[in-house]
Amino acid sequence: MCVLGLGLIGGSLLRAAAAAGRPAWGWNRSAESAEQARDDGYDADTDLRAALVRARDQDAIVVIAVPEPALDSVLDRIGEYAPDCTLTDVVSVKGSVLAAVRRHGLADRFVGGHPMAGTAESGWPAGDVDLFRGAVWVVAAEDDTDPDDWTRVARLALDCGSVVVPAGADEHDSAVARISHLPHLLAEALAVTAAAGGDLALALAAGSYRDGTRVAGTAPALVRAMCEANAQALTVALDEALALLTEARRVLAETGGTEALVEAGHAARGRYDNLDRWEISDAAIGAPGWPQALRDAGRRGGVIRAL
Amino acid sequence: MCVLGLGLIGGSLLRAAAAAGRPAWGWNRSAESAEQARDDGYDADTDLRAALVRARDQDAIVVIAVPEPALDSVLDRIGEYAPDCTLTDVVSVKGSVLAAVRRHGLADRFVGGHPMAGTAESGWPAGDVDLFRGAVWVVAAEDDTDPDDWTRVARLALDCGSVVVPAGADEHDSAVARISHLPHLLAEALAVTAAAGGDLALALAAGSYRDGTRVAGTAPALVRAMCEANAQALTVALDEALALLTEARRVLAETGGTEALVEAGHAARGRYDNLDRWEISDAAIGAPGWPQALRDAGRRGGVIRAL
C-alpha cells in the first residue's frame, strides 16, 4: 500500500497497514512529516514519482490522504505514473473526490473510502496505529465500481480493525452532512450565542454547554474544509434543522411548550443508541447488481466485519 | 439545614451538608426516597409539618428541592410552619421561583440558589455527596436581599465544595437559557435531523454526533421542565441562534463558504476555555449597594471561594 499524505489519517493508516503486515510506504509533500515517519521506523519519502512508480511495479493500492486542495495535483501525478493501480482515498466528502477522479480519467480502478475516525489534532505526530480500530469505514460502491478493487479496499479497511459500511458517494455525503457537518455548525452557533451572555454565562456553563460546543474547538480550517466541500448536502441538512428550530421557537413563544421537539429528539437519540449494526454475511461481490445490493444493505444499517 | 425533596439534587445536598458537619434533615413526599435515605443513615421523613417545625425551632435554613410543579404547595406549608426561616432553593430557573416566593409573602428571608451540577439520573439513589464539589453555585443577590441570609446560603454552598457566583434572578435565567436550555433544544434538533438520514446516517455517526446529541438522551420530562420554566429567556437565546444559522445557511447556499460562523464559533469557545474565574476577595456584604456590587462582579466572571 502506498499512502499519499502523512497527516493524522494518512499517518495512522501507514502505521495500521504496517502493523497488519502489509508492505506499506508513504509520501508527504513536506519533508518534516516524512522525516518524523522515518524516525518512527516507517518507510516514508518526499519523492512522489518514486512512491508511485513503486506502487505501479508492485501493483499496490494507492491511497489519497492529502487535503482537498492538493487533490488535483496528486491526481495528475497518479495519472502519469500509476494509472492502473487500485485507487482509493480517505477524504471526508465523497462526491467531490469522485468527480475529480473522473475528470482525471482514473475512475476505472477507483473506490472511494472514508474512515469515520479522527481527533481535533493533526499531523504525523497525532497519528495512532489504533485510530481505525472499531471505527466505521465507508467503502463506496458505485454502479461501475470494479468488484476486485472494491474487495481490495474493503480488506484494507478490515485489516485496520474497522467495520465496512457500503454506500454510494451521494448518500454518504448526505449522511455525513447530517451526522458530522451539521453538528459542527450547531456547535459554532451555540458557542457564539453562549458567549453573547458574557462572562457570567460562560462562568455558569457546564456539561450541556461543553458537550454541545466541543467541536467548536476544532481548527477553523479543518471545519471549513469539511463543511465547504459538502456545501450542497449540508444546506439540505441545515434547512431541516432550521425548520425544526423555527417551529419550536414559534410554539415556545406562543404556548411556552417544547413537547414536540423534545419528545422527537429523545426518540431519535434512542434510535441511535439502539441501532442494530447487523452483519452483511451474504455479500456476493461481483454478482449481477452487487453494488445496488450492497448499498441497499448499508442503507438498512448493515456492516461488513469480514470478507 | 432542612431540605425539602430528596431527589438527585436534594438528596446530594443532604449528604453533602451532613458530611460538612451540619445538622441536616430531609423531607420527601414519597415514602420510598425517605426510606432509602434512612437506610443510608440519613435523617429523613415524610412528615412535612414536623420537618418545618423543627426548622423553625432550630432556626435552620430551609432548602426547596422539589420539582417546579410542587413548589406552590410546599411554599404554602413553609408559610404556615416556618415563615421566619432563611429560605433558599436549588431549582434551575430563578425568576419563576422568586415570583412564587413573593406571591406567598416569603421574600423577606429568601435567597435564590442554583447549583450548576447534575446528571441524567434522578432520585435518591442517584445522589452523590460530591455532586457539588468544584461546581458553580449561583446565589442570587436582589436589591432587597437580606445580607445575613445571603451569607448563610453562600456558606452552605461553599461547605458543599462549590464556588459561589452572585447574580440577579433575571440575569441568571438569561445566562442559563444560553448555556443550558439552548444546548438541549439544539441537541434535540440535531438528533431528529440525523435520524432523518436513516440507519445509514446513524451507522456513520461518531464523536461530533454523540457529543452534540448527548443531552437529547435526558428524560423529556426533565428537559421540558427546565426549558418551559424559562420560556421567555430561552426564546431570546433561540432567536439569536436562529439568526446566526439562517445567515450561515444563506452564505453557504450562495457562496459555499462557512468562514464567518466557524471563525466566530471557534473564538467564542476559546473565550470559554480561557475564562478567568477571578476571586471576589473584597465582598462587603451588607455595605451600601452590596447586591449591585456583587452582581457586577459576577457579570465580570468573579467567583467567591471563601467567606
Nearest chain B alpha carbon to A248: B185
Residues A66 and A163 in one domain: yes
**pLDDT for res B120:** 64
Closest CA to A209 of B16, B237, B163, B258: B237
| Contact B49/A at CB under 8 A | no
* Number of domains chain B contains: 2
Residue for grid cell 465507508: A138
Single-letter residue type at B297: A
Q: Are residues B49 and B137 in the same domain?
A: yes
pLDDT at B91: 87
Confidence class for position A283, pLDDT limits 50, 70, 90: confident
* Measured distance CA(B173)–CA(B93) in Å, rounded: 6
- Residue-level pLDDT at A185: 98
What residues of chain B lie within 8 A of the CB of A266, using their CB? Answer: 188, 191, 216-220, 223
> Percentage of chain A surpassing pLDDT 90?
93
Q: Is residue A304 part of a domain?
A: no
- The full DSSP string for B143-205 is TT--HHHHHHHHHHHHHTTPEEEEE-HHHHHHHHIIIIIHHHHHHHHHHHHHHTTHHHHHHH-
Using CB atoms, pick whichever of A167, A208, A231 lies closest to residue B200: A167
Could you tell me if residue B307 is inside a domain?
no
* A132 and A19 together in one domain: yes
Do B152 and B192 fall into the same domain?
no
Q: Report d(CA A289, CA A143) in Å as an integer.
A: 8
The pLDDT assigned to A302 comes to 96
* A20 assigned to some structural domain: yes
Same-domain status, B138 and B286:
yes
Å from B233 to nearest chain A CA?
10
Q: What is the CATH number of the domain that holds B199?
A: 1.10.3660.10
Ranges in chain B, pLDDT < 70: 119-120
Please indicate whether, in this complex, the C-beta atoms of A213 and B269 are within 8 angstroms of each other. yes
CA distance linking residue B255 with residue B277, whole number of Å: 40
The three-point CA angle A252-A181-A27 to 5° equals 165
Q: What is the pLDDT of residue B118?
A: 74
Report the phi/psi class of residue B288: left, alpha or beta, with left for phi > 0 and alpha for psi in -120 to 50.
Answer: beta
Q: Is residue B109 part of a domain?
A: yes
> What pLDDT, in 10s, does the model give residues A76-98?
999 999 999 999 999 889 999 99
Chain B 137-166, residues with CB within 8 Å of chain A CB atoms: 138, 165
Query: Which domain, by its residues, includes A288?
Result: 2-167+277-299
| pLDDT tens, position by position, A182-204 | 999 999 999 999 999 999 999 99
Looking at residue A120, its pLDDT comes to: 64
The set of residues, in sequence order, having a beta carbon less than 8 Å from that of B195 and lying 6+ positions away, is: A268, A271, A272, B201, B202
Nearest to A136 among B165, B172, B203 (CB): B203
CB A224 to CB B249 under 8 A? no
Residues across chain A: 307
Verify that A192 and A57 share a domain, yes or no: no
Say yes or no for a CB contact (<8 Å) between A217 and B269.
yes
Question: Residue B68: inside a domain, yes or no?
Answer: yes
Instruction: Indicate if A28 and A152 belong to the same structural domain.
Output: yes
pLDDT at A65: 96
Within this chain, do residues B111 and B183 fall inside the same structural domain, yes or no?
no
CATH code: domain of residue B69? 3.40.50.720
User: What average pLDDT does this structure show over A152-157?
Assistant: 98
Which of A210, A301, A88 lies closest to B135, judged by CA? A210
- CB-based contacts of B221, cutoff 8 Å, min separation 6: none
Q: Is the pLDDT score of A303 beyond 90? A: yes
Task: Note which residues in 172-231 of chain B have CB less than 8 A from chain A.
Answer: 172, 174-176, 178-180, 182-209, 211-220, 223-224, 227-228, 231
Contacts of A197 in chain B (CB under 8 A): 174-175, 178-179, 237
Do B163 and B180 lie in one domain? The reply is no
| pLDDT score for B252 | 98
Interface mutation target, options B121, B247, B262, chain A, most CBs of A under 10 Å: B262
The pLDDT score that the predictor gives to residue A117 is: 86
Q: Are residues A261 and A114 in the same domain?
A: no
Mean pLDDT (chain A) is: 96
Q: Is the pLDDT of residue A119 over 70?
A: no
Cα angle A297-A298-A303, degrees, rounded to a multiple of 5: 95
Let me know whether A156 and A228 are in one domain: no
Residue B304 lies in a domain: no
Give the residue on A whose Cα is nearest the Cα of B162: A204
Residues 19-48 of B with CB under 8 A from A: none
Contact A167/B at CB under 8 A: yes
Contact list, A191 vs chain B (CB under 8 Å): 264-266, 268-269, 272
Q: B131 and chain A: CB distance < 8 Å anywhere?
A: no
Report the run of H or E that residue A53 belongs to, with start and end: helix A48-57
For residues A8 and A134, state if they share a domain.
yes
Q: Which of A116, A137, A171, A202 has the highest number of chain B CBs within 10 A, making it the mutation to test binding with B?
A: A202
Classify residue A306: in a domain, yes or no. no
Query: Residue A242: its chain B contacts at CB < 8 A?
Result: 242, 245-246, 249
Q: Does the ipTM exceed 0.90?
A: yes
pLDDT computed for residue B121 by the predictor: 73
Please indicate, yes or no, if residue A245 is contained in any of the structural domains: yes
- For chain B, give me the number of helices (H) and strands (E)? 14, 9
Query: What span, in angstroms and rounded, lies between the C-alpha atoms of B272 and A52?
Result: 46
Q: Which residues of B touch A273 (CB under 8 A)?
A: 217
Cβ under 8 Å to A: B residues 234-293: 234-235, 237-242, 244-246, 248-249, 252-253, 256-259, 261-266, 268-273, 275, 277
Residue of A nearest to B295 (CA): A200
* Percent of the residues in chain A that have a pLDDT greater than 70, as a whole number: 99
